[in-house]
Chain A
Amino acid sequence: MGTKLTISRGEFLKLSATTGAGLVLGLYLPWKNQLAAQADQTFKPNVWVSIDTSGTVTIVMHRSEFGQKVWTSLPMILAEELEADWSRVQVVQGDLNPVYGGQSTGGSASVRTSYDKLRKAGAAAREMLISAAAQTWNVDRGECRAESGAVIHSPTGRKLGYGELVETAATLPIPEEVPLKDPKDFKIIGKSLKSLDGAAKIDGSVIYGLDFKLPGMLTAAVARCPVFGGTVASYDDSKARTVPGVRHIVPISSGVAVVADDTWSALEGRKALKVTWNEGAHARLSSEDISRTLREAAEKDGRSLRVAGDAEAALAQAETKLEVGYEVPYLDHATMEPMNCTAQVDKSSCEIWVPTQNPAAAHNAAQEITGLPDEAIKVHTLRMGGGFGRRLANDYARDAVEVAQAVTGPVKVLRTRDEDIQHGIYRPASYHHLKGGLDRKGNPLAWIHRASGPANAGFMIGPDSATYGIDLPYTIPNIHTSDITSELPVPAGPWRSVANTQLAFANESFIDELAHAARKDPYEFRRAYIKDHPRLLGVLELAAEKAGWGRRLPKGRYQGIAAHGCFRSYAAIVAEVSVDRRGRVTVHKMVCAVDCGIVINPDGVRSQVEGGITLGLTAALHGAITLEKGRVQQSNFHNYKLLTMRESPVIETYIVPSAQPPTGIGEPPVPPTPPAVTNAIYAATGIRIRRLPIDPKELQKG
């Protein structure tokens, strides 16, 4: 989502002002020459990096950190080219500002889209520091080299630290072209460096959105209609107003806000508030209705996405035919930190402090609500306890801006867990109608996939971008994929890996079904038809090798395999599971191979694989948001269960060495996780799971 934000140069300088002298790099700014010209007098800061006279390197985090460790991996990219002393690097959060380009953090894109620009920013700083040293020593700059936060004059061994060079460097012209390092000389990129904020995350000092506080700040909780689309008919706040600490009762578009001195008072006040709801048109909606709607839609013709050959005609000729449906429910993100936002609004300005993946969305919401000009609205990105796509939406920022408009001073609006789960922006439910045919020899002849999902999810059930989505990596002569949407009132949005979560479950289950129908090994069957996709084949083969595909397993354990590419990266997983007589599934081990191009921080990649697999397993084993009478039935972690340590398998990660440009890793491990598990369950039981979450009743014996 783009921002309409415009900003004056003076405003930029003020916004980004820091104390002390520093090296200025006005890179990527339309006014960069003016900035550079000013630099010798003012030492104004730059966009990505500044160095103070003590030699401390400060790198701006222009994206959001919520567990992907971009707080460390993005600075590593810049520090590599800068030849920085890593122990002298610190990171500061960049507020919403067009100088950084896009700041929405999603699509596993932070490293991919920042790699070139952060390398260039670091290299430009390095070259200026080398020139500054050469000028200081009055020597040929070709005799100087940068190393670990200093410039060294090679013939004499003289050395000047970056801090000693910044004032001179700041007077030099910014180079237009800068040489980049040969990857074979990388010292930082490719190393499993510890997170720069590792200690702060465990001593209580990191300030998450919910921890943010301003002097005189009020706290608010909102009573919301339990039915989607419902509105306030009337409310009685006589009791709520008597609750100690309650200051204001403010009707807003999403409900009625109780504003108080502190959290407890706001929650007690909300309890005492009586609201009568106009539940609206969806007060009878149930999950059965949704399921029926999606199934019926899948019988109609949808929007064709890929047509190769004549799939229906080929299917009619096929020796073996399969026709099945797969179904997945709505899912909540259930970030450990519930949604919250702090805002302060007066007649001429609006300031927002928000744990968001998308500060521009908060800005745009504030503008829409307040009507203030761009430059009167400021958005500060705060740390967040999990994102998974939920914080791309701005619904919770809207709440805060609306409440802040009605009160004086700053106010934080927070959601309780039940509210957070019952008023999410859910991963859409979907139904997938699959038909496939094999020839006499067991070769696949035809593949037909129609994906059916809610209209408000749009692309989130169909052809999700940046690699496979609904598309197939398998070479099949006749393919027809399509999608169709139905109007449903449940809010829907991106959830870690977006449409790939549903589509890979359908595709990777159905290719497994075809393999078994052809009486072939599911791994070998995939390999045979995946040949045109070497990187996917690479991860498939690596996962199979590392997992020992087909080896003798401990009694009762079985393997399943699945592979998928998304966001330009590739992941394959071999799951090892057992199923007991009562149908209970134990996932013992997940072996994952990934190819995400050049790796910045290998341990960071492993950490994301562990995270993606955990989220995928939670979806496979537990996850379902269901509706009854228009209401979400889940309310907390007792009925919207997260995976526990006891249920958590051993996760092994193997990275395909690559010289390809870096791509994302936050999302790609998620999609193959559920089908790897259900394929293993089939191997164990002969029962095909076609509906998530896995229902042990389907697997009970006798």
Chain B
Amino acid sequence: MAQISFIINGQRKSLDMDPDVRLLWVIRDSLGLTGTKYSCGMSLCGACTVHVDGDPVRSCVTAVSDVDGREVTTIEGLAEQNHPIHQAWIEEEVSQCGYCQPGQIMTAAALLAKNPKPSDKDIDQTMSRALCRCGTYQRIRRAIHRAAGEV
């Protein structure tokens, strides 16, 4: 057991827990923030993506000890910030089942933070690591361009 402290969506959390527990399960089970999804558990699909100090991180393979002293943002935190990406996703009617979309949005938001006007190629390169089974890719691409116009 270890004392682990981090900021999540602006709130400081201090937890006494096994440092090896994956951040995903801490966020979902201990903190009750279920917008971050489990899907592959091996950093293969991106459904669990959160931001750690602004960078996209796959929480399913990240030990909670790795975020000690750092700042974590989940989809709930991003949604509170009224990020233009949410409106773009709604305008493009992106989601089908919606399960992968929090991870898609976190991945896309991190891309836009680094590259405010990404090309199709830039988008494909980053987003091809984020899997969707429903077939929303072309709408995701459009939504990112739309959000880029407004970021």
A648–B29 alpha-carbon span in the complex (Å) = 34
User: Most chain-A Cβ atoms within 10 A of its Cβ — which of B34, B79, B96, B131?
Assistant: B96
Q: Are B135 and A613 in contact (CB under 8 A)?
A: yes
Q: Are A603 and B37 in contact (CB under 8 A)?
A: no
A211–B48 alpha-carbon span in the complex (Å) = 13
B44 contacts across to A, CB distance below 8 A: 636-638
Q: Are B124 and A67 in contact (CB under 8 A)?
A: no
For A209, the closest partner residue in chain B by CB is: B99
Task: With A66-B97, A615-B133, A645-B140 as known contacts, state yes or no: A205 contacts B35, CB within 8 Å.
Answer: yes
A211 interface neighbour in B34, B79, B136, B138, Cβ under 8 Å: B34
Enumerate 7 A-B pairs (CB-CB under 8 Å) in ascending A order. Answer: A204-B74, A204-B76, A263-B38, A337-B39, A612-B135, A614-B132, A643-B135
For B32, the closest partner residue in chain A by CB is: A213
Q: Are B138 and A648 in contact (CB under 8 A)?
A: yes
Interface residues of B (CB under 8 A from A): 18, 21-22, 25, 28-30, 32-42, 44-45, 47, 74-76, 79, 86, 89-90, 93-102, 105, 123-125, 127-141
A201–B130 alpha-carbon span in the complex (Å) = 17
Task: With A263-B29, A264-B25 as known contacts, state yes or no: A202 contacts B135, CB within 8 Å.
Answer: no
Task: Decide yes or no whether A651 CB sits under 8 A from chain B.
Answer: yes
B90 interface neighbour in A202, A205, A603, Cβ under 8 Å: A202
Q: Are B133 and A335 in contact (CB under 8 A)?
A: yes
Task: With A66-B97, A337-B99, A614-B134 as known contacts, state yes or no: A636 contacts B30, CB within 8 Å.
Answer: no
Task: With A203-B76, A204-B33, A636-B42 as known contacts, state yes or no: A386 contacts B134, CB within 8 Å.
Answer: yes
For A648, the closest partner residue in chain B by CB is: B137
For A335, the closest partner residue in chain B by CB is: B133
A195 contacts across to B, CB distance below 8 A: 93, 95
Q: Are A610 and B138 in contact (CB under 8 A)?
A: yes
B30 contacts across to A, CB distance below 8 A: 262
A607–B131 alpha-carbon span in the complex (Å) = 17
By Cβ-Cβ distance, the 9 closest A-B pairs, closest first, are A204-B35, A385-B99, A614-B135, A201-B98, A67-B96, A67-B97, A211-B34, A203-B79, A611-B135
Interface size on A, residues (CB 8 A): 60
Q: Are A417 and B25 in contact (CB under 8 A)?
A: no
| Other A-B pairs, 6, CB within 8 Å; known A67-B96, A337-B39 | A204-B34, A204-B35, A205-B76, A206-B98, A335-B97, A645-B141
B76 contacts across to A, CB distance below 8 A: 203-205
Task: Decide yes or no whether A210 CB sits under 8 A from chain B.
Answer: yes
Q: How far, in Å, is A605 (CB) from chain B's closest CB?
A: 12
Q: Are B102 and A204 in contact (CB under 8 A)?
A: yes
- Chain A window 175-210, contacts with chain B (Cβ cutoff 8 Å), 1 for yes, 0 for no: 000000000000000001011011101111111101
B32 contacts across to A, CB distance below 8 A: 213
- Chain A window 346-387, contacts with chain B (Cβ cutoff 8 Å), 1 for yes, 0 for no: 000000000000000000000000000000000000011111
Q: Are B93 and A194 in contact (CB under 8 A)?
A: yes
Task: Decide yes or no whether A250 CB sits under 8 A from chain B.
Answer: no
Task: Decide yes or no whether A244 CB sits under 8 A from chain B.
Answer: yes
A603 interface neighbour in B34, B93, B97, Cβ under 8 Å: B93
Q: Are B37 and A210 in contact (CB under 8 A)?
A: yes
Task: Decide yes or no whether A646 CB sits under 8 A from chain B.
Answer: yes
By DSSP majority rule, is chain B's interface helix, strand, loop, or mixed? loop
Q: How far, in Å, is A297 (CB) from chain B's closest CB?
A: 32
Q: Are B47 and A204 in contact (CB under 8 A)?
A: no
A416–B131 alpha-carbon span in the complex (Å) = 17
Task: Decide yes or no whether A644 CB sits under 8 A from chain B.
Answer: yes
B97 interface neighbour in A386, A417, A613, A615, Cβ under 8 Å: A386
A336 contacts across to B, CB distance below 8 A: 37, 39, 45, 47, 97, 99-100, 131-134
Q: Are A199 and B90 in contact (CB under 8 A)?
A: yes
Task: Decide yes or no whether A69 CB sits under 8 A from chain B.
Answer: yes
A642–B39 alpha-carbon span in the complex (Å) = 13
User: Most chain-A Cβ atoms within 10 A of its Cβ — which of B95, B101, B128, B138?
Assistant: B95
Q: How far, in Å, is A517 (CB) from chain B's closest CB?
A: 34
Q: Are A194 and B90 in contact (CB under 8 A)?
A: yes
Task: Decide yes or no whether A650 CB sits under 8 A from chain B.
Answer: yes
Q: Are B136 and A201 in contact (CB under 8 A)?
A: no
Task: Decide yes or no whether A161 CB sits under 8 A from chain B.
Answer: no
A263–B41 alpha-carbon span in the complex (Å) = 12
B45 contacts across to A, CB distance below 8 A: 336, 637, 642
B89 contacts across to A, CB distance below 8 A: 198, 202
A194 contacts across to B, CB distance below 8 A: 90, 93
Task: Decide yes or no whether A334 CB sits under 8 A from chain B.
Answer: yes
A263 contacts across to B, CB distance below 8 A: 25, 28-29, 38
Q: How far, in Å, is B22 (CB) from chain A's closest CB?
A: 7
Could you tell me which residues of chain A, from 543 to 579, have a CB within 8 Å of some CB in chain B? none
Task: Decide yes or no whether A338 CB sits under 8 A from chain B.
Answer: yes
A66–B100 alpha-carbon span in the complex (Å) = 12
B124 contacts across to A, CB distance below 8 A: 645-646
Q: Are A264 and B21 in contact (CB under 8 A)?
A: yes
For B39, the closest partner residue in chain A by CB is: A336
Q: How far, in Å, is A93 (CB) from chain B's closest CB?
A: 15
Q: How far, in Å, is A27 (CB) from chain B's closest CB?
A: 30
A5–B32 alpha-carbon span in the complex (Å) = 35
A607–B29 alpha-carbon span in the complex (Å) = 33
Task: With A198-B90, A614-B137, A645-B137 as known contacts, state yes or no: A385 contacts B37, CB within 8 Å.
Answer: yes
B79 contacts across to A, CB distance below 8 A: 202-204
B41 contacts across to A, CB distance below 8 A: 416-417, 636
A248–B109 alpha-carbon span in the complex (Å) = 42
A662–B150 alpha-carbon span in the complex (Å) = 38
For B21, the closest partner residue in chain A by CB is: A264
A648 contacts across to B, CB distance below 8 A: 135, 137-138
Q: Are A201 and B101 in contact (CB under 8 A)?
A: yes
Q: Are A642 and B133 in contact (CB under 8 A)?
A: yes
A192 contacts across to B, CB distance below 8 A: 93
User: Most chain-A Cβ atoms within 10 A of its Cβ — which of B22, B39, B94?
Assistant: B39
A203 contacts across to B, CB distance below 8 A: 35, 75-76, 79, 86
